[in-house]
Amino acid sequence: MSAFRSPRQLRSAREIAAMREAGLIVWRALKSMEQAVRPGVTTAELDAIAAKTFEDVGAEPLFLNFPNATPGWPVFPAVTCISINEEVVHGIPRADRKLAEGDVASVDTGCKLNGWCGDSAVTYAVGTVDAEKQKLLSVTKGVLHLAIDLMGKKSRWCEVASEMERFVKDHGFSVVEDFVGHGIGREMHEDPQVPNFCSKRTPRSQDFKLEPGLVIAVEPMVNVGVKSVKTMPDGWTQATRDGKPSAHFEHTIAITADGPQVLTAGPNGEL
Ligand code: MG
Ligand code: MG
């Protein structure tokens, strides 16, 4: 999902409060799906839970009918992306795809409420997972929490991103570079692009100033093995090239005068 069209904008406190309402609905959808995650549940059943959550409050699902980056490929057919094990992002929910004991399942969804967007992802363990997958989940969630913390302490994004990359590498894993986070507001994907790494090749537009009013979706994708991904035959699902597992966590985060505010946290600030 990579249609960056709207230019970067800073949001007022009132606009951020409106985005918080959208973010809370996204949190609720993910929480409802989490409660249904178990061996044997289909990814289509999980998708229906998110669809119902959005429908009940009149929120518009942002992923449904999202255009493919490759011309001629079909639009995205579901409300969530559900990506299992070696799948990194953009997995398509299906009635014939069941979760199994020991899987890790990344669930990503977003909605627009009263004209404002929220976007968040969580990777769930299905039953008991092996030690490597447990570590993968804790490192990927950990690097998102590190980013949130650093967003209140650093002045530019690249300072945050380089520490994210180092944290992941220090744990022996790799950061996906083919997909990145994004600005978010009236549209799900706005400028700037928000990489989870920083190098000499990083364009200046991706080393933006962290200032009050900035709202971005930060979404590290971490692989156990190589960082490279490939597109599967369905035209959407991205999987690791070496077939090793991947995890993905995402929050929509605003910078305010009081520091970072996670707009897709739970009602009591649960991350
Ligand atoms: Mg997302
Ligand atoms: Mg996103």
Ligand nearest to the CA of residue 120, numbered in listed order: 1
pTM: 0.96
Q: Which residues surround ligand 1, an ion (CB under 5 A)?
A: 108, 119, 121, 250
Ligand nearest the Cα of residue 184 is: 2
Helices 157-170, 131-151: axis angle to 10 degrees equals 160
CATH superfamily of 13-262: Creatinase/methionine aminopeptidase superfamily (3.90.230.10)
The order of strands in the sheet holding 174-175 is 174-175, 221-223, 246-248
For residue 256, the cross-strand partners are 259
* C-alpha of residue 109 to centroid of ligand 2, in Å: 8
What pLDDT digit, counting tens, does each position of 222-270 carry?
Answer: 999 999 999 999 999 999 999 999 999 999 999 999 999 999 999 999 9
Summarised one tens digit per residue, pLDDT across range 98-112 is 999 999 999 999 999
Phi then psi dihedrals of residue 259, to 5 deg = 110, -175
Q: What is the mean pLDDT of residues 125-139?
A: 98
pLDDT at 4 > cutoff 80: no
What pLDDT score does 153 carry? 98
- pLDDT at residue 7, as a whole number: 64
Q: Where are the domains of the chain?
A: 13-262
Instruction: Tell whether the model's pLDDT for residue 1 goes beyond 80.
Output: no
